[in-house]
Each structure stands twice: as structure tokens, then as C-alpha cells.
């Protein structure tokens, strides 16, 4: 495979093209991996598209909670599409090259969508907080205008910051090697290829990750602390169980996403290993989006009823 480079000042070579090693070390399993990841991508598309269709067509799902869930499903489709199609092409053709611009574009969209997911999960937690802790004010607080503003804010809040962070990372000089030991252009493996001292850039990554991971997680934690206290004060066990069931699916998704994301981005560089980075990244970029529709539908009576009506009509 050709490693395209151009000469910089002196004897240092500047990388103009990267090679995504992905799972190339599993040479005997390439066809199997292609099949598995293809099925996962199809399941992500079908499952999340079905959620979007149901929330648009079924009158019983015309509620703020399902409006945000439809946004979340659209986000999951976009999130996975940034990475999986390129990885599938790489496995199928065995040409694992990606241009510098292509790598930067992939990273930028991945970071922007990741930031959106963090804040959309906060919005969904806030929705449950208002519904359970202030049920009488819920229709007034979570009106259509407020829902649209919260959703749009979640989608755009990370755009300027992540564009700037991506530009900073790709202003670094990359030399000696252009092989990214990952299946997509993520921050840790790309920074590893940079020449010279990258301490300032690493601190910048930690600062941004703290804002987009730690702050949303703390807001979600605060919301659920209030929610749990309110639920425990309910007089009947059946009321408590019903209240818990409306937010348990969201809480499960939060644990999966933030747990794997925090391990990937907030642990020290010395503790990074390529194998573990790939495993955790695969979990929150592909496995979680694949299971999210099942998590929400299997634990939600409204969605199960909407599914029955949808397929009975068909």
C-alpha cells in the first residue's frame, strides 16, 4: 500500500494520507468482520428509522419525550454513518487509505455528533425531571417551542468548538508513520502520530472532553437525583414502578454511552492501548446505537403498542 507523503522543511516528511489499520491484524476474519459490521449497520438504520417513523405517524407518540427520542434516533444513524461505511469499504477492498482532509472531516463530524449526543441526553433527562418532579407544569414548560429550541441547541452547541479542536489537531506535523491503529480517525490515535511535544493539544482535548462529557453527565446526575427522590416519596409501589419505567431506558443508555466515552477520552495517555481503545470505541459508536431502539421499545408500552398498530396495518 502506498504511503503518500510530501517533503517538509529539512529531512522531515509530512503525512498527506493516512492508513486506517482497523482490524487488519485479524487477517483470517476479514470476511466475517465485513458480514458482522454490515448486519450491525443495517440494524442501526432499520431500528432507529422505525423509531423515527413511529413517532411521526402515531398520535399517541406526539409527546416531548418521543420528539427527543426521534432526534436521538436520527443522531444515532448519523453517528454510525460517519464511521461504519468507510470501515466496510476498507475491509471489502483492503485499501485502508484515507486522505488528510477525509480524516479531518470524519473526525470533525464524529466529534460534533458526539457533543450533540451528550447534550441531547441531558435534554432527555431534563424532560423526565419536569415530567416526574413537576407534572402539573409539564405541558407549560415542555411546550413545542421549548422542545424545538432544546433540540436545535443540542445539535449546534458543539459545532464551533469541535471544528476548532479538529483544526488544531490537524495543524500538527505528522511524520515517521501515517498508520492510524484504529478503525476511524479518532483523537487519541491521531495525536500519537504527531511530531514534537503534543502536551498543550492533549490538555486542550481533556478540557473539551471535560466540558462535553463531564458537565453533561453531572447535569444528568443532578436530574436523576431529583427524580429518584421524588419517586421514593410516591405513596404506592405501583406508582413508583411506573415512574421508574419511564426513565430506566434513558438511564441505561446514559450509563453505556458516558461510561465507555469517559474511559476512552478521560483516562491518561499512558494507559491507552490500541486494542482497548478500539473495543471501547466500537461499543459506544456501533453497539450502543444498535441496541438503543431495542432498549427503548422493549421497556416502553407506548412504543410497543405503536409497533403493533404499525405492523398490523401493513
- Expressed as residue numbers, the domain containing 143 is 26-312
- Cα distance between residue 151 and residue 119, in whole Å: 9
Which of the given ranges, 11-15, 106-110, 297-301, has the highest pLDDT on average? Answer: 106-110
Given a cut of 50, whether residue 209 has pLDDT beyond it is: yes
* Residue 20 covered by a domain: no
**Total domain count for the chain?**
1
pLDDT digits (tens, 9 = 90+) for 80-137: 999 999 999 999 998 999 999 999 999 999 999 999 999 999 999 999 999 999 999 9
* Residue 193 covered by a domain: yes
* Residue 17 covered by a domain: no
Domain containing residue 40: CATH number: 1.20.1070.10
Q: pTM of the predicted model, to two decimals?
A: 0.88
Question: What are the phi and psi torsion angles at 200 (to 5°)?
Answer: -60, -40
- Cα distance between residue 79 and residue 151, in whole Å: 16
- CB-based contacts of 87, cutoff 8 Å, min separation 6: 20, 22, 37, 183, 184
- CB-based contacts of 272, cutoff 8 Å, min separation 6: 188
* Residue 1 covered by a domain: no
Residue 24, exposed/middle/buried by CB under 10 A (0-12, 13-18, 19+)? middle
* Residue 8 covered by a domain: no
Q: What is the pLDDT of residue 81?
A: 95
Region 42-67: mean pLDDT is 93
* Residue 127 covered by a domain: yes
Place 7 in a pLDDT band, splitting at 50, 70 and 90.
Answer: very low
Q: What is the pLDDT of residue 274?
A: 67
pLDDT digits (tens, 9 = 90+) for 212-247: 888 899 999 999 999 999 988 888 887 788 778 778
* Residue 4 covered by a domain: no
* Residue 18 covered by a domain: no
Amino acid at each position: 500500500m502506498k504511503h503518500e507523503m510530501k517533503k517538509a522543511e529539512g529531512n522531515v516528511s509530512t503525512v498527506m494520507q493516512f492508513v486506517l489499520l482497523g482490524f487488519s491484524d485479524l487477517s483470517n476474519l476479514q470476511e466475517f468482520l465485513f458480514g458482522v459490521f454490515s448486519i450491525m449497520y443495517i440494524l442501526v438504520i432499520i431500528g432507529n428509522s422505525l423509531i423515527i417513523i413511529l413517532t411521526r405517524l402515531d398520535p399517541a407518540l406526539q409527546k416531548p419525550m418521543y420528539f427527543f427520542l426521534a432526534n436521538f434516533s436520527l443522531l444515532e444513524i448519523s453517528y454510525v454513518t460517519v464511521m461504519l461505511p468507510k470501515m466496510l469499504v476498507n475491509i471489502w477492498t483492503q485499501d485502508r487509505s484515507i486522505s488528510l482532509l477525509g480524516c479531518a472531516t470524519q473526525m470533525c463530524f464524529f466529534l460534533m455528533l458526539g457533543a450533540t449526543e451528550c447534550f441531547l441526553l441531558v435534554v432527555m433527562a431534563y424532560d423526565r425531571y419536569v415530567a416526574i418532579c413537576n407534572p402539573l407544569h409539564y405541558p407549560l414548560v415542555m411546550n413545542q417551542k421549548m422542545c424545538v429550541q432544546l433540540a436545535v441547541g443540542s445539535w449546534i452547541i458543539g459545532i464551533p468548538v469541535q471544528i476548532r479542536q479538529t483544526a488544531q489537531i490537524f495543524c500538527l506535523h505528522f511524520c515517521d508513520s501515517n498508520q492510524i491503529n484504529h478503525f476511524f480517525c479518532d483523537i487519541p490515535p491521531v495525536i500519537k502520530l504527531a511530531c514534537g511535544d503534543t502536551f498543550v493539544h492533549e490538555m486542550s482535548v481533556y478540557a473539551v472532553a471535560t466540558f462535553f462529557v463531564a458537565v453533561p453527565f453531572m447535569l444528568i446526575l443532578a436530574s436523576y437525583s431529583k427524580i429518584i427522590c421524588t419517586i421514593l416519596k410516591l405513596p404506592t409501589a405501583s406508582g413508583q414502578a411506573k415512574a421508574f419505567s419511564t426513565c430506566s431506558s434513558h438511564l441505561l443508555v446514559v450509563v453505556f454511552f458516558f461510561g465507555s466515552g469517559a474511559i476512552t477520552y478521560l483516562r491518561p495517555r499512558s494507559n491507552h492501548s490500541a486494542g482497548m481503545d478500539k473495543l471501547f470505541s466500537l461499543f459506544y459508536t456501533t453497539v450502543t446505537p444498535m441496541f438503543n431502539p431495542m432498549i427503548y421499545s422493549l421497556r416502553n408500552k407506548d412504543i410497543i403498542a405503536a409497533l403493533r398498530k404499525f405492523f398490523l396495518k401493513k
